[in-house]
Every structure is written in structure tokens, then in C-alpha cells.
Amino acid sequence: MSAPFLGVFDSGVGGLTVVHALRKAVPHIPIWYVADQAHVPYGGRPLDEVRGFACGISEALLANATAECVGVVMACNISSAVALPAVQAKYPHVPVLGVVEPGAQAAAHHTRNGRIGVLATEGTVQSGAYRQALHRIAPDIEVYEVACPAFVPIVEAGTEGSEAAREAACLYLHPLEAHDVDTVILGCTHYPFLLPLLRRLSPQFVYIDPAEPTAEAVGQVLSSLGVQSAPRHRLFTTGDVGAFHAQLERLFPDLLLVSEVKSARWDGGLLVLD
């Protein structure tokens, strides 16, 4: 059996922000990343459908016959919200982590006025995952959630600097400014690519990217694994491999240098990693 690996997935390139943080937190572990671009974006889909995608990808990683998956990171907020408990229950002896709880913990730590905003997809807002997580931490925190349906298509298309991106960001930030929040959770892993724009428009906010605290949590869980030199990563997409390769060249050229890019496909409800 080949070397152990850490499985990570998202609907598109957004989860690569988590991969970037994980490469610093667990630099000795190969990462297999799945971008389910055949179904991107997840945010506007029915929650049961998203749960099916997330469970299917987790199953493909955890039940892989050629290598040992030592853990799964759902680098996708809506997947973390709707599928995490089911996968954790099915694989109780393997660490399965999401991004919602670490992001909520970080935001609760940073807020000074107890007012926290959440920019997220429609599905994550509908799930109430961040509101519930924050109220478990501190019941008196006020949470203001804003659905941002335009953000994921903007990032996937690489148009973060466009006028359409600026107009969308202004629209989504306005209600958070009106509610006088001091801390804003980026409740979708695509959104950190928009941080320069968000900070320029609303510099008064502390922006929380759940990628960093999630990577720290993974590092604590997997710190006992043996060290490997220069791990080789595998990056899969269920969409067009050429287009995915071009996105990697634009966003994470360093990751592309130490990775192989491969195709994945859905066969009914099963994901096949080629």
C-alpha cells in the first residue's frame, strides 16, 4: 500500500485555500484534493443533494483501495454543515473535520462587541451552521448572516477584480455595516480570494478565514504521523482538467509544481478517482 494521505475536498478551487494552510500545518503528509467542479457551486443546491455529494466524495477517499486515507477535511462550509456528522458516524476511527467549528471559534475569540457577520453561500445560511456554532460557544453573540450567491462564480471565473465583483461585495457588506459588526467570517472557502476587495471596501472589519484554524486543528490531530520528505500531492477535478490546470496556474503555481492533476468522475452516486 502506498503512503498515507490526507483527503480534502470542495466544490471547486475554493478549498485550495485550506490546502495552502494545510501544507504549512502538516508539510509531511501528501494531500489528495477533490474539486467537484461538475456540481459547482454547491451553495444554491438542495441541502440533501449537497449531503449526497459530500458523503460520496468522503467515501471515495476513505474507502480507497490503493492508499490509506488518514483523515478527511471538508474544505467546504456547506458540506461541513450538512454532511460532517454522517461521515464521522460512519468512520469513527478516522479524523473527519470541517471548517465551520474552527471558523466560529476564531471569530468568537476576535470579536470585541459581540456582533459577528457571516458571508456565506445560500445553503450555508439556510443550514444555520455558523449561528448554531457561535451560540454554542457564546449564547449572547449576535450573528448576522448574508448569502452571497455571486461570489463563487466570480472566483471560479477569475474575475475578482471586475466591476461586477465590486458591486456584489458592496451589496453583501452593506447589511453587516448597518448592524455594526466588528468581525466577519468568510463562510465559504472561495471567499478568501476576494479578501483584497473586501478589505478595501470595508477595512474596519476583522475578517476570519476558517482555513488557518482548521489547518491548526488538523495539525494537532495528525502530528504523530511519520515525516515524509517532499510529499507529492494529487489534485482531482470532476470538471474539465485543462480548465482546472489553468486555475491552478493562476492561483497556486507552487502547489502545481508538487502535484499531479487528475480526472475524477461520478458513476451514479459513486465518485471514481482515476
What structural domains and CATH numbers belong to the chain? Answer: 2-98+213-273 (3.40.50.1860), 100-209 (3.40.50.1860)
Cα 10 to Cα 50, 102, 119, distances in angstroms: 11, 17, 17
Residue type, 63: A
Report pTM. 0.94
Residue pLDDT, tens place only, 76-107: 999 999 999 999 999 999 999 999 999 999 99
Residue pLDDT, tens place only, 162-178: 999 999 999 999 999 99
Burial of 163 per CB tally in 10 Å (0-12, 13-18, 19+): exposed
Tell me what the pLDDT averaged over the chain comes to: 95
**pLDDT above 60 for 1:** no
Residue pLDDT, tens place only, 204-218: 999 999 999 999 999
Collapsed DSSP state (helix, strand, coil) of residue 164: helix
Q: Annotated catalytic residue: which of 55, 69, 76, 148? A: 76
Give the contacts of 257 (CB within 8 A, at least 6 positions apart): none
| pLDDT (0 to 100) of residue 229 | 63
Quick one: CA torsion of 22, 184, 160, 75, rounded to 10 degrees?
30
State the angle between helix axes of 100-110 and 211-222 in degrees (0 to 180), rounded to the nearest 10. 120
Burial of 129 per CB tally in 10 Å (0-12, 13-18, 19+): buried
| pLDDT (0 to 100) of residue 66 | 82
| pLDDT (0 to 100) of residue 226 | 60
Cα 6 to Cα 97, 104, 156, 249, distances in angstroms: 11, 23, 24, 22
Asked if residue 273 lies in contact with residue 33, where contact means CB atoms within 8 angstroms, the answer is no
C-alpha cell, 109: 475569540
Query: How many percent of the chain have pLDDT more than 70?
Result: 97
| pLDDT (0 to 100) of residue 223 | 77
Please say if 188 is a catalytic residue.
yes
Quote the CA–CA distance of 49 and 202 in Å, as a whole number. Answer: 34
Question: Which residues lie across from 7 on neighbouring strands?
Answer: 32, 72
| pLDDT (0 to 100) of residue 65 | 78
Please say if 76 is a catalytic residue.
yes
Quote the CA–CA distance of 205 and 53 in Å, as a whole number. Answer: 33
C-alpha cell, 41: 457551486
Asked if residue 179 lies in contact with residue 117, where contact means CB atoms within 8 angstroms, the answer is yes
Q: Annotated catalytic residue: which of 55, 69, 148, 188? A: 188
